Chain A
């Protein structure tokens, strides 16, 4: 009897405890970044020297930090928009139409995902050099669009595959032309997939160091700035920017959840 009760106790606590530990493990680096953004650091931000708000009040103090941040935002935004639009169209083409070379086109889209980033970055560089293109923001954006497209295509194709083709037929049956059917039925149903793909694109572009390092020339993205700064000691203001991005992401997620909850409530009240 006693043993049985014991076992039930374990099974009751096991999942929450493991989940808690996993979250702790995931969040430790972020908590560390957050705390050290308030560090009254000297030359390096590795040891705690006391609490200050000055990093948050003036995050652009270290030369080049905010420029790099803005550069990264720009690159990620442009790459995301272009890759999402093109990737959605490619996903549609591959999923909905049967054509010659569909199989090889499929494979080609996957290739950038499987190639090592260093190889990708290096070969892009040699291509740009051979074409005589000036390295800078344009080449960075172009290379990011390239690998983001693959992620977008893979994500959105999975979503299209779950759509019932009968829905488009029903729309056509109800007097919707092909383009109306797309905008009124297919597209709204794809929005979650497109949003996921766009977020993923933004995150990997914003994060990218290797490909940008090969192809950006003197144009500096945030990861590149950090990498260089790391040799001298990363300034606490970098933690401010990191924390800011994290808090922005969290508040976005919370806002979406709240909006959904509110909408469901109002729907239920209407019923």
Chain B
């Protein structure tokens, strides 16, 4: 099957509801055939952005392009874009087959019914073609919603948290299926979610969104390894962020001083390279070692932060999560793989070690609490 996907370009789109700005001067370029995830907390404007791409909402300002065509002013039914709604929105009075054939019939495709049957085969629901939506389970309805959208071979397919209502097991299964289907049909997928794991495992490119703006765009591993803002550092996984002062710079490397200790930081991994900055490191990249005993792997290029005290231990099986208080710096979170059967207990004195090449640097005025999810 020929790939039907096209580029999607958003150019400075803003959407206001009254004097509330839901989407704020957002620009985006998704190349054809990509699996793109839009990730962000509740209320950050993800659905509003999708609705503007679908034409169900019109931007207050800015332009929407599909391929080379400016579609900003066109209506939803004129756009070669289809949506898988979070609530599925299947037509309750039509059979599953009629639901899937709906779009093709509107476009007067001659073999609408045959194509709809093929799409139902794709999602393995051909045997339920004559049923009504109410007679299907949640997971089956979800697949019908997907078939109903995919069957039209749109240029862009929008998925608004389509897996939100499913339980964990079905969710993982559907994630794999979605990915397979996307490979098969070659349509540009824009997948909205607030599940970071889902975004990271499925998408080629992830955009992290916050308060109507995009904080950072990139491949999942890049976003995780080198977050550019405190929000991304905290929202995508966990991070330890602390203030440090740049004392020296030799081009490629910076020397940081904090709470009486020093560490190196690659200049290429820092957003800001002078003055006071916020430095960050991921919890699994820190090694906690008994006070005064360097870990076996440590060598040159490693930094040591002495004077830690274990304040809490949570054992999760594969790994153990420690909270370690360091004087003058506050709490550090450390993930240790359980390679040995003995770990630390509360009150143990430890030193923290990390490889300097794993550190990242953020702007000095970053809010270190941004993006931490309230539980």
The 8 A CB mask of A162-206 against B (1 = contact, 0 = none) is 001011011111111100110011001100000000000000000
B169 within 8 A of A: no
The 8 A CB mask of B113-156 against A (1 = contact, 0 = none) is 00000000000000010111001000000000000100010000
Interface contact B56-A180, CB-CB below 8 Å: no
Residues of B within 8 A of A184 (CB): 102
Question: For window 88-112 of chain B, which residues contact chain A by CB distance below 8 Å?
Answer: 89-93, 102-103, 106-107
State how many angstroms separate the Cβ of B82 from the closest Cβ of chain A.
Answer: 6
Interface contact A271-B128, CB-CB below 8 Å: yes
State how many angstroms separate the Cβ of A124 from the closest Cβ of chain B.
Answer: 40
Interface contact A175-B93, CB-CB below 8 Å: no
Interface contact B85-A166, CB-CB below 8 Å: yes
Residues of A within 8 A of B132 (CB): 267
Q: In this complex, what residue of A is CB-closest to B86?
A: A166
B83 within 8 A of A: yes
A270 within 8 A of B: yes
Residues of B within 8 A of A166 (CB): 85, 87, 89
Interface contact B91-A172, CB-CB below 8 Å: no
Interface contact B89-A175, CB-CB below 8 Å: no
Question: For window 182-241 of chain A, which residues contact chain B by CB distance below 8 Å?
Answer: 184-185, 188-189
Q: In this complex, what residue of B is CB-closest to A180?
A: B106
CA distance A98 to B375 in the complex (A): 38
Interface contact A170-B83, CB-CB below 8 Å: yes
Find A167's partner among B55, B56, B76, B89 (CB 8 Å cutoff): B89
Interface contact A164-B131, CB-CB below 8 Å: no
State how many angstroms separate the Cβ of B268 from the closest Cβ of chain A.
Answer: 44
B16 within 8 A of A: no
Q: How many A-B residue pairs have CB under 8 A?
A: 66
Residues of A within 8 A of B81 (CB): 173
* Given A170-B83, A173-B82: A271 touches B107 (CB 8 Å cut-off): no
Find B82's partner among A174, A176, A185, A270 (CB 8 Å cutoff): A174
Interface contact B77-A177, CB-CB below 8 Å: yes
Q: In this complex, what residue of B is CB-closest to A269?
A: B130
CA distance A172 to B87 in the complex (A): 16
State how many angstroms separate the Cβ of B78 from the closest Cβ of chain A.
Answer: 8
Interface contact A169-B56, CB-CB below 8 Å: yes
Find A172's partner among B76, B93, B131 (CB 8 Å cutoff): B76
CA distance A270 to B56 in the complex (A): 36
By secondary structure, the A interface counts as helix
Interface contact A189-B152, CB-CB below 8 Å: no
B179 within 8 A of A: no
Residues of A within 8 A of B106 (CB): 174-176, 180
Find B148's partner among A164, A174, A177, A271 (CB 8 Å cutoff): A174
Which of B76, B83, B128, B152 is most buried by chain A, counting CB atoms within 10 A of its CB?
B76
B75 within 8 A of A: yes
State how many angstroms separate the Cβ of A66 from the closest Cβ of chain B.
Answer: 41
State how many angstroms separate the Cβ of A111 from the closest Cβ of chain B.
Answer: 33
State how many angstroms separate the Cβ of A20 from the closest Cβ of chain B.
Answer: 34
CA distance A33 to B164 in the complex (A): 60
Total number of A residues with any Cβ neighbor in B under 8 Å: 21
Find A169's partner among B76, B78, B92 (CB 8 Å cutoff): B76
B54 within 8 A of A: yes
State how many angstroms separate the Cβ of A218 from the closest Cβ of chain B.
Answer: 47
CA distance A166 to B102 in the complex (A): 15
Which of B75, B89, B93 is most buried by chain A, counting CB atoms within 10 A of its CB?
B89
Q: In this complex, what residue of B is CB-closest to A177?
A: B77
Residues of B within 8 A of A171 (CB): 91, 102
Residues of A within 8 A of B83 (CB): 170, 173
Residues of A within 8 A of B82 (CB): 173-174
Residues of B within 8 A of A177 (CB): 75, 77
State how many angstroms separate the Cβ of B165 from the closest Cβ of chain A.
Answer: 14
CA distance A150 to B93 in the complex (A): 28
Find B130's partner among A170, A181, A267 (CB 8 Å cutoff): A267
State how many angstroms separate the Cβ of A188 from the closest Cβ of chain B.
Answer: 5
CA distance A170 to B162 in the complex (A): 14
State how many angstroms separate the Cβ of B328 from the closest Cβ of chain A.
Answer: 54
CA distance A204 to B102 in the complex (A): 39
State how many angstroms separate the Cβ of B253 from the closest Cβ of chain A.
Answer: 52
Interface contact B130-A270, CB-CB below 8 Å: yes
Residues of B within 8 A of A271 (CB): 128, 130-131, 135
Q: In this complex, what residue of A is CB-closest to B145?
A: A170
Interface contact A175-B87, CB-CB below 8 Å: no
Question: For window 221-271 of chain A, which residues contact chain B by CB distance below 8 Å?
Answer: 267, 270-271
Residues of A within 8 A of B131 (CB): 267, 271
CA distance A177 to B106 in the complex (A): 9
* Given A164-B89, A167-B91: A173 touches B130 (CB 8 Å cut-off): no
State how many angstroms separate the Cβ of B53 from the closest Cβ of chain A.
Answer: 11
Interface contact A174-B128, CB-CB below 8 Å: no
CA distance A180 to B76 in the complex (A): 13
Interface contact B152-A174, CB-CB below 8 Å: yes
CA distance A180 to B55 in the complex (A): 17
Residues of A within 8 A of B76 (CB): 169, 172-173
Question: For window 332-362 of chain B, which residues contact chain A by CB distance below 8 Å?
Answer: none
In addition to A164-B89, A167-B92, A189-B93, 11 A-B residue pairs with Cβ atoms within 8 Å of each other are A167-B89, A171-B102, A174-B106, A174-B152, A175-B106, A175-B152, A180-B77, A180-B106, A270-B130, A271-B128, A271-B130
Q: Can you list 19 residue pairs at the A/B interface with Cβ under 8 Å?
A: A164-B89, A166-B85, A166-B89, A167-B89, A167-B91, A167-B92, A172-B75, A173-B76, A173-B77, A173-B81, A174-B148, A174-B152, A176-B106, A177-B77, A181-B77, A188-B93, A189-B93, A267-B132, A271-B135
The 6 tightest CB contacts between A and B, nearest first, are A174-B103, A175-B106, A170-B89, A172-B76, A166-B89, A270-B130
